[in-house]
Amino acid sequence: EPEVTQTPSHQVTQMGQEVILRCVPISNHLYFYWYRQILGQKVEFLVSFYNNEISEKSEIFDDQFSVERPDGSNFTLKIRSTKLEDSAMYFCASSNQGAEDSPLHFGNGTRLTVT
Judged by the rule CB under 8 A, the positions of this chain that interact with another protein are 4, 33, 35, 41-45, 48, 56, 58, 91, 93, 98-101, 103-109
**19-24 β-sheet, strand order:** 5-7, 19-24, 75-79, 65-68
Distances (CA, A) of 78 to 2, 5, 29, 91, 103: 25, 17, 21, 13, 25
Q: Report the nearest approach of another protein to the CB of residue 109 (Å).
A: 5
Q: Report the nearest approach of another protein to the CB of residue 14 (Å).
A: 24
Q: Report the nearest approach of another protein to the CB of residue 16 (Å).
A: 28
Nearer to another protein, 62 or 100 (CB): 100
Nearer to another protein, 12 or 15 (CB): 12
SS (H, E, C) 72-95: CCCEEEEECCCCHHHCEEEEEEEE
Q: Report the nearest approach of another protein to the CB of residue 111 (Å).
A: 9
Dihedral angle at the C-alpha atoms of 76, 6, 98, 96, nearest 10 degrees? 120
